[in-house]
């Protein structure tokens, strides 16, 4: 049987080989994922933003009239991890885009899949390009959890959180109703409210950990959130609910154990299209690999209003001291553009 750290190494090795996944700020239901359109035209807008990058393309329709297509892509942070940059496109560039169109007839909006530049270079929009910064463990690890780490999200974890289906987790009757009645307007992200943990923790971005005696902080790249873990407290009593809840930590040998409660109710507080309830409770464990090259992050999520049973996962964070973290705040205009897809 594989040992604990053999499993950790296997998780890290397999996950690093995975192409960067598409991370969705909202449901892809408004797009026809079974149909792809080919659009040729000139770039009239390239908005490099969080939570979504947008490209507007001036094209010529089938009837010869001019059309402007709006192409949605992932956040600047995720696009950077696929090899894109703020200068990948310039206004006036002539490109070809392959994308999934809106399900609504007459809407010139689409979800980008890949883009071909005029020089023939093709840029993937949903998986890693050759120029993407690979998640590679350094030759020398860290002696502590302090520092910069990159989250490596296994396919099952990615699918269960970003493309959640009721069969993924044991839902209560209320949880199933919440999923079935979810509407795009229920997504707090439209107002730049970030994901709640553990959803926030499994996103394939960078995390900066700062260790202190009274508090430990974890700053996330994608949502530019700072989680505070209180090492000098023992109770959640009297704490006002918040998006990230109230976290209390303690050390068990070299393992950081974090107990979080007092989560504010959130329209996607557990997973994509799955809200959280007022009694949501999270236990997380952060274990530094003996070679210091990765952290095993594991958690158990309990939410009696939504889940019939607790759910648990584990994944790895790879030590990345030389990686340049993007700390980009949410752009309200970018966050709400998806509401006009249909």
Structural domains in the chain, sorted by start: 4-19+136-319 (2.40.128.20), 37-131 (2.40.50.1010)
pLDDT digits over 85-142, tens only? 999 999 999 999 999 999 988 899 999 999 999 999 999 998 878 777 778 899 999 9
pLDDT digits over 164-181, tens only? 999 999 999 999 999 999
Closest residue by Cα to residue 283 from 268, 266, 302, 305 = 302
Average pLDDT on 191-208 reads: 95
Q: What are phi and psi of 225, to 5 degrees?
A: -105, 145
* pTM, 2 dp: 0.87
Q: Cα(100)–Cα(32) distance, rounded to whole angstroms?
A: 6
Classify residue 126 by its DSSP letter.
S
Q: Are strands 246-252 and 226-230 parallel, antiparallel or unpaired?
A: parallel
How far CA 315 is from CA of 13, 45, 136, 282, 323, in Å, comes to: 11, 37, 15, 16, 20
Q: Cα(323)–Cα(319) distance, rounded to whole angstroms?
A: 9
SS3 281: strand
Q: Are strands 66-72 and 109-116 parallel, antiparallel or unpaired?
A: parallel
pLDDT at 11 over 50: no
What pLDDT is recorded for position 8? 42
pLDDT at 9 over 50: no
């Amino acid at each position: 049987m594989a040992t604990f750290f053999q499993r950790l190494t296997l998780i890290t090795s397999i996950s690093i080989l995975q192409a960067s996944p598409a991370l969705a700020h909202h449901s892809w239901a408004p797009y026809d994922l079974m149909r792809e359109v080919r659009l040729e035209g000139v770039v009239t807008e390239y908005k490099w933003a969080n939570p979504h990058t947008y490209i507007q393309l001036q094209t010529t329709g089938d009837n010869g009239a001019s059309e402007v297509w709006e192409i949605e892509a992932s956040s600047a942070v995720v696009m950077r991890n696929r090899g894109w940059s703020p200068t990948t496109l310039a206004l006036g560039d002539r490109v070809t885009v392959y994308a999934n169109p809106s399900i609504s007839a007459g809407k010139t909006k689409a979800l980008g899949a890949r883009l071909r530049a005029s020089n023939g270079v093709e840029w993937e929009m949903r998986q890693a390009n050759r120029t993407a910064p690979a998640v590679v463990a350094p030759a020398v690890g860290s002696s502590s959890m302090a520092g910069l780490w990159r989250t490596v999200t296994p396919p099952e974890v990615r699918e269960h959180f970003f493309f959640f289906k009721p069969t993924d987790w044991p839902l209560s009757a209320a949880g199933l109703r919440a999923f079935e009645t979810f509407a795009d307007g229920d997504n707090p992200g439209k107002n730049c409210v970030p994901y709640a943990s553990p959803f926030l923790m499994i996103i394939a971005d960078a995390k900066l950990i700062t260790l202190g005696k009274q508090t430990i902080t974890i700053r996330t790249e994608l949502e530019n959130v700072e989680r505070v873990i209180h090492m000098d407290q023992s109770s959640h009593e009297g704490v006002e609910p918040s998006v990230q809840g109230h976290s209390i930590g303690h050390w068990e040998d070299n393992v950081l154990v974090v107990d979080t409660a007092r989560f504010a109710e959130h329209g996607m507080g557990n997973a994509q299209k799955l809200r959280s309830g007022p009694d949501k409770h999270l236990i997380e464990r952060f274990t530094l690999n003996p070679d210091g090259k990765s952290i095993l992050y594991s958690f158990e999520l309990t939410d009696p209003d939504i889940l019939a049973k607790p759910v648990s996962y584990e994944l790895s964070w790879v030590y990345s001291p030389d990686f340049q973290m993007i700390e980009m705040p949410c752009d309200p205009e970018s966050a709400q553009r998806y509401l006009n897809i249909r």
